[in-house]
């Protein structure tokens, strides 16, 4: 049974033109995020790939979230790239940029990211544990507008050489963490967040938890948290994603 807030959100969406689409292959996380966006004044629709594909060419969305873990429909892949380049706002979440996307024709080169496998010393890895989302760009609207960070952590940026700093963060417990999303486009990206995690007694810190890049006339965001539906219940993380929708270049 759906919760009352979720029912309310979709009832509200039915009475207003949809502004934000969340294309996925796992409904629960995106339905939660869609409900929050709708309550926040951005009527949103969470749709699986077949549903989205049926009408995507007729849409004029304010933003599109991509949350596809498995096989990525090539027509949707092409549409989302074109949508961003023509002035759209594309927001990629979690496994929308993971090892499975190495099978996609254009996606990873478009995002300016490479994933490598063994025996490369910077090989891709997936860990599970507590994820600290660390604010590395405190002056940016997305990281700062109506965002209250509940704690600080000691963090050394992976853009070496860097000094350890105490930086604002939020903790997302027991989730999935990606190591070594390698940038291939120099300084084209504006890094917004890093992550810090301790797994098996080892501490990992990389400046890859959230970023923004231009794409033609539009923009692309990536945010790494979001393996589980409950990750989107974190009020601070939800506010950050709303800021990505509302940010004015």
Q: What is the pLDDT of residues 47-82, one digit of tens each?
A: 999 999 999 999 999 999 999 999 999 999 999 999
Question: Is the pLDDT assigned to residue 5 strictly greater than 80?
Answer: no
> Using CA atoms, how far apart are residues 58 and 224, in angstroms rounded to an integer?
29
Give the model's pLDDT for residue 8.
44
> Using CA atoms, how far apart are residues 231 and 131, in angstroms rounded to an integer?
10
Q: What is the pLDDT of residues 127-177, one digit of tens each?
A: 999 999 999 999 999 999 999 999 999 999 999 999 999 999 999 999 999
The structural domains of the chain, ordered by start, are 4-246 (3.40.50.880)
Angle subtended at Cα 241 by Cα 239 and Cα 27, rounded to the nearest 5 degrees: 110
Q: What is the pTM of this model?
A: 0.93
Percent of the chain with pLDDT over 90: 92
Residue of 16 and 115 predicted with greater confidence: 115
């Amino acid at each position: 049974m759906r919760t009352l807030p979720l029912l309310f959100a979709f009832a509200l969406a039915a009475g207003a033109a949809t502004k934000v689409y969340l294309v996925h292959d796992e409904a629960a996380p995106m339905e939660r995020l869609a409900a929050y966006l709708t309550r926040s004044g951005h009527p949103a629709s969470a749709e699986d790939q077949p549903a989205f594909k049926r009408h995507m060419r007729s849409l004029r969305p304010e933003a599109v979230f991509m949350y596809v873990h498995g096989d990525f429909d090539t027509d949707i892949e092409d549409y989302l790239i074109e949508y961003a380049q023509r002035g759209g706002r594309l927001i990629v979440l979690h496994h929308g940029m993971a090892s499975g996307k190495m099978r996609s024709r254009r996606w990873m080169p478009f995002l300016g990211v490479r994933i490598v496998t063994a025996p490369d010393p910077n090989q891709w890895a997936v860990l599970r544990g507590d994820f600290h989302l660390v604010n590395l760009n405190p002056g940016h609207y997305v990281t700062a507008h109506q965002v209250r960070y509940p704690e600080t952590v000691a963090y050394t940026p992976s853009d070496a050489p860097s000094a350890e700093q105490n930086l604002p963060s939020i903790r997302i417990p027991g989730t999935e963490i990606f190591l070594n999303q390698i940038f291939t486009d120099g300084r084209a990206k504006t890094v917004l967040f890093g992550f810090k995690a301790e797994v098996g007694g080892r501490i990992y810190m990389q400046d890859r938890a959230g970023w923004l890049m231009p794409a033609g006339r539009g923009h692309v965001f990536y945010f790494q948290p979001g393996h589980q539906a409950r990750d989107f219940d974190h009020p601070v993380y939800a506010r950050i994603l709303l800021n990505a929708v509302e940010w004015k270049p």
